A and B are shown apart, each in its own frame.
Chain A
């Protein structure tokens, strides 16, 4: 230690505090200076080193005979002295004396570099001995090697015992070294595999090895050297540690499939969920499980994809389940019921469980001969959908065969290659509608039948009336004739007797009324027969004039005034004969039911309204109590009895008008008069 100049002193201070381990040696290999880092690494103090020959300060460790630290360093330093060039040494095992315990050494491994310091003449002035302490690294390596050696030894041991062979220590060591080499190779391969691989040791499952893929699964997590429960707390809650414990205890290999692990953040929030398919395999040393090797694949994407697929499948299933129609899928040549929603099951009178997975004819034996299988065959054969409406089927429901009607579609389903693998059936039961319609059809049929019977009855009635009127007519005509003959035969004076003339009057009056009634009956039957005579454009004014002429004697006798205003309807479309009959009846009624208190006034007029031509015959006659109007147009109804009437006229008028598609109504007031309006059907 020189303190003669300030400059070297200052330099020495710098050297001492260099952030690396340095020794400064003289050409005689005396220690001239030492850095603090070197002192720290070698567990020495400066004052015991300065001025001391280097090999005196750092002798060989007699307990590590394999270490050649002194020899190797001496050789290196001599080389530097000879060549004047730096020399980098291989890793050196060079223990240092333990300052606490005399004659004991502390293990040290170094990477030394020796560099000469030359003067202007090229003479060596100093040698700088620089070292890097790699002891920890070497120890870790050795630890691993040692365990490998032990493991191998254990295995070799077992083998040896089995084979009853002896191997010496050297062979064991060689074998161990080979194994280590293989391990190294394996680790290299592990590093490159996409599978996540780790090795955990001990009952705490401390990570002793992880490959890159494994670390990538848990970025930002410190794994190596830590127990699993500590490095990945999630593995406790998600059951992985329990599995590891089990494998560690039992030695049984565990295969895990799609097992979830919820990765949590520091605050406990679930960050993401990962899924793994993995193996936990115990490894042994000397017959004991000492650790577990893990091969794991991250199958999160596959699981999520499958989940998504399943969710979609579920959606489809829900759709099937909740669809308001019956849906079934039949697969294969036996039409196995692959899908059956509740509606189709209900339609079949079964539960989905009773039919699913069974061939159609096994699930529904009753449909065997109902042609459905043949339809399915046809759909599969032709590849064309079959649409059916109101097909009848007999199904077993609640222990009885029930006849139902179905609307359905058989749609072939194809696989990726276009082959028809199954048929989907979509069906709606329409039994109610069909039955309802059949009921309607039945009632219509009965109605038609009733109509026919009614028509026949009407014809019978007509024939009866003809026959009756004929059979009644003959005798009354005979009576009439006989009275005439009798009057001719009686002596004239007998006719002069009191009351005889009146009696004869009554007899002839009764005969006349009898004849008229028969006439009217005949008229009515004629009407029924000719209910649709040909309609034509008829000149209304002309027909009215002709009727007036027919009724002229009555009009005159009643001193009635008839006014006609029909310019608004020059023609009406109506069968002329019927039109005449209508006008005749209305006009004659107007005169017949005149009021004795005033001169009869009949007004016939016509106007057009809402597509109808309305002909009105209004009088100032007796009028009627219209509360009985409902009967007014009925047959044989007579509201007045003081004048002749059969109760047929208005019935006929209504019948004629309504048969032609028109209508008739009446306005009337007792003591003031009546007005009958005929609505002729719209011209078409």
Chain B
């Protein structure tokens, strides 16, 4: 199984981050795991790390967060230079079933959406779909 170079978890829920982190660890799915507590932190981190070795190739993005929500982050992210965006895969991860959110997700131009919680099966599917090396 391939390993992700750098994964960024963006969630204000520390328990969720803790659980996801332990899942990644158990599956040994990523070289590097970064955590941001909201969209703004994530944006700062990307600005600092990208492009570069520590630039995340997978971002698991929560929707509802203080300071900067997932959607606001996506908006800001789309304004970044192409070089900073590279080939980053962004997956939305949320408990929200609000139809308004679903509609926005469809228009957000992201790689995928996963209902919380992130399960072993879902993570394996992400790896298979986006990070399988032929």
A485 and B96 CA atoms in complex are apart in Å by 24
Q: B92-121 interface mask toward A, CB cutoff 8 Å, 1 = contact, 0 = none?
A: 001111110000000000000000110000
A526 and B99 CA atoms in complex are apart in Å by 8
A481 and B117 CA atoms in complex are apart in Å by 8
Contact (A473, B95) CB under 8 Å given A478-B19, A480-B117, A485-B19:
yes
Cβ–Cβ contact A482 & B97, under 8 A: no
Complex contacts, B22 vs chain A, CB 8 Å = 485
Complex contacts, A526 vs chain B, CB 8 Å = 97, 99
Cβ–Cβ contact A478 & B97, under 8 A: no
Complex contacts, B95 vs chain A, CB 8 Å = 469-470, 473-474, 477
A477 and B117 CA atoms in complex are apart in Å by 6
Cβ–Cβ contact B15 & A482, under 8 A: yes
Complex contacts, B36 vs chain A, CB 8 Å = none
Complex contacts, B96 vs chain A, CB 8 Å = 466, 470
Complex contacts, B64 vs chain A, CB 8 Å = 470
Complex contacts, A488 vs chain B, CB 8 Å = 26
Per the 8 Å Cβ criterion, residues 1-45 of B in contact with A are 13, 15-16, 19, 22, 26
A477 and B20 CA atoms in complex are apart in Å by 12
Complex contacts, A470 vs chain B, CB 8 Å = 64, 94-98
A370 to chain B, nearest CB (A): 56
Complex contacts, A482 vs chain B, CB 8 Å = 15, 19
A residues adjacent to B (C-beta < 8 A): 466, 469-470, 473-475, 477-478, 480-482, 485, 488, 522, 526, 529
Contact (A474, B13) CB under 8 Å given A466-B98, A529-B99:
yes
B114 to chain A, nearest CB (A): 12
B112 to chain A, nearest CB (A): 18
A477 and B16 CA atoms in complex are apart in Å by 9
Cβ–Cβ contact A473 & B19, under 8 A: no
Which residue of chain A lies nearest to B12 when distances are taken between CB atoms in the complex? A474
Complex contacts, A480 vs chain B, CB 8 Å = 117
Cβ–Cβ contact A522 & B15, under 8 A: no
30 A-B residue contacts at CB 8 Å?
A466-B96, A466-B97, A469-B97, A470-B64, A470-B94, A470-B95, A470-B96, A470-B97, A470-B98, A473-B116, A474-B95, A474-B116, A475-B15, A477-B16, A477-B95, A477-B116, A477-B117, A478-B13, A478-B19, A480-B117, A481-B15, A481-B16, A481-B19, A481-B117, A482-B15, A482-B19, A485-B22, A488-B26, A522-B97, A529-B99
- Most B-side CB within 10 Å, residue of A477, A522, A526: A477
Complex contacts, B116 vs chain A, CB 8 Å = 473-474, 477
A19 and B63 CA atoms in complex are apart in Å by 157
Complex contacts, A481 vs chain B, CB 8 Å = 15-16, 19, 117
A597 and B118 CA atoms in complex are apart in Å by 43
Which residue of chain A lies nearest to B16 when distances are taken between CB atoms in the complex? A478
B70 to chain A, nearest CB (A): 13
A477 and B15 CA atoms in complex are apart in Å by 10
Which residue of chain A lies nearest to B99 when distances are taken between CB atoms in the complex? A529
A474 and B18 CA atoms in complex are apart in Å by 13
Given contacts A466-B97, A474-B13, A526-B97, could you give 4 more A-B pairs where the C-beta distance is less than 8 Å? Answer: A469-B95, A475-B15, A482-B15, A482-B19
A488 to chain B, nearest CB (A): 8
A310 and B131 CA atoms in complex are apart in Å by 115
A527 to chain B, nearest CB (A): 12
Which residue of chain A lies nearest to B20 when distances are taken between CB atoms in the complex? A481
A665 and B21 CA atoms in complex are apart in Å by 52
- Most A-side CB within 10 Å, residue of B26, B64, B94, B95: B95
Complex contacts, B117 vs chain A, CB 8 Å = 477-478, 480-481
A482 and B99 CA atoms in complex are apart in Å by 29
B19 to chain A, nearest CB (A): 4
Cβ–Cβ contact A478 & B98, under 8 A: no
A482 and B95 CA atoms in complex are apart in Å by 17
Which residue of chain A lies nearest to B19 when distances are taken between CB atoms in the complex? A481
Contact (A478, B15) CB under 8 Å given A473-B116, A485-B22:
yes
B17 to chain A, nearest CB (A): 10
B18 to chain A, nearest CB (A): 8
A522 and B96 CA atoms in complex are apart in Å by 10
Contact (A474, B16) CB under 8 Å given A480-B117, A481-B117:
yes
Complex contacts, A477 vs chain B, CB 8 Å = 16, 95, 116-117
A473 and B16 CA atoms in complex are apart in Å by 12
Complex contacts, A522 vs chain B, CB 8 Å = 97
Complex contacts, A473 vs chain B, CB 8 Å = 95, 116
- Most B-side CB within 10 Å, residue of A466, A474, A485: A474
Which residue of chain A lies nearest to B117 when distances are taken between CB atoms in the complex? A477
A475 and B96 CA atoms in complex are apart in Å by 13
B123 to chain A, nearest CB (A): 13
B27 to chain A, nearest CB (A): 12
Complex contacts, A469 vs chain B, CB 8 Å = 95, 97
Complex contacts, B98 vs chain A, CB 8 Å = 466, 470
Which residue of chain B lies nearest to A463 when distances are taken between CB atoms in the complex? B98
Which residue of chain B lies nearest to A479 when distances are taken between CB atoms in the complex? B15
B84 to chain A, nearest CB (A): 30
Which residue of chain B lies nearest to A489 when distances are taken between CB atoms in the complex? B22
Complex contacts, B13 vs chain A, CB 8 Å = 474, 478
A481 and B16 CA atoms in complex are apart in Å by 9
Complex contacts, B97 vs chain A, CB 8 Å = 466, 469-470, 522, 526
